[in-house]
């Protein structure tokens, strides 16, 4: 769910696509497909309600990037680094949920140091990490809320900046 006043929401996306995802397995598949578009230096912001599928998507990203270690929610450790097993970029997985401040608190994690050679994925990053890079991919996951077992999600992939201007984000749905 988009924050009411988010810098990411104010910046026009260079490219965007909206996808329907009908199961956790398909969310993980989306992550694997999306990983094919990522390269060192990419910042990916994930936005969505609790249980929307942010970590499931990141698990797929990790599989697609060929990184070491089980990708699980870094809620209590704040950040985890998953080195590549294939010579590609490491995956830095951050959960900013418990971080109240903006970039000041994020600076303690040295994400700006990790960013050039890694793919940095930040859950709950709205209003906190936009200043790390003008180029970023914002993934917004909307789910049905309330007492339901409906696994459907609407996922918006919104590329911001020159890096994503010509990106074919629809290729991630393949």
Give the pLDDT of the chain (174 residues) as one tens digit per residue.
344 434 444 445 678 999 999 999 999 999 999 999 999 999 999 999 988 999 999 999 999 999 998 898 876 667 888 899 999 999 999 887 766 655 555 555 555 556 688 999 999 888 878 877 889 999 999 987 766 777 899 999 999 999 999 899 988 875
pLDDT in the model for residue 105: 52
What 3-state class would DSSP assign to 129? Answer: coil
pLDDT in the model for residue 122: 92
pLDDT in the model for residue 117: 87
Q: How many helices (H) and strands (E) does the chain have?
A: 6, 7
pLDDT in the model for residue 41: 92
pLDDT in the model for residue 5: 39
Ramachandran quadrant class, 134 (left: phi over 0; alpha: psi -120 to 50; beta: rest): alpha
- Quote the DSSP letter at residue 13: P
Ramachandran quadrant class, 87 (left: phi over 0; alpha: psi -120 to 50; beta: rest): left
Q: Which residues make beta-bridge pairs with 94?
A: 79, 122
CB atoms within 10 A of CB 59: 21
Residue 49 to residue 140: CA distance in whole angstroms: 10
- Quote the DSSP letter at residue 7: H
pLDDT in the model for residue 101: 58
- Dump the DSSP string for 85-140: SSSS-EEEEEE-TT--SSHHHHHTTTHHHHGGGEEEEEET-TTTSGGG-SSEEEEE
pLDDT in the model for residue 28: 96
Asked if 153 and 3 touch (Cβ cutoff 8 Å), the reply is no
pLDDT in the model for residue 97: 76
pLDDT in the model for residue 106: 52
Six token digits for residue 38: 């990522």
């Amino acid at each position: 769910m988009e924050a009411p006043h988010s810098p990411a929401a104010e910046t026009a996306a260079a490219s965007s696509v909206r996808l329907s995802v009908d199961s956790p397995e398909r969310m993980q598949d989306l992550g694997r497909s999306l990983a094919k578009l990522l390269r060192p230096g990419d910042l990916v912001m994930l936005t969505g309600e609790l249980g929307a599928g942010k970590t499931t998507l990141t698990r797929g990203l990790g599989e697609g990037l060929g990184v070491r270690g089980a990708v699980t929610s870094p809620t209590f450790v704040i950040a985890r680094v998953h080195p590549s097993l294939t010579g590609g970029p490491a995956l830095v997985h951050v959960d900013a949920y418990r971080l109240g401040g903006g970039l000041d608190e994020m600076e303690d994690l040295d994400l700006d140091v990790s960013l050039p050679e890694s793919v940095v994925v930040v859950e709950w990053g709205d209003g906190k990490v936009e200043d790390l890079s003008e180029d970023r991919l914002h993934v917004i996951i909307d789910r049905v809320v309330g007492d339901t077992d409906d696994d459907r999600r609407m996922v918006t992939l919104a590329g911001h900046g020159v890096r994503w201007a010509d990106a074919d984000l629809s290729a991630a749905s393949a």
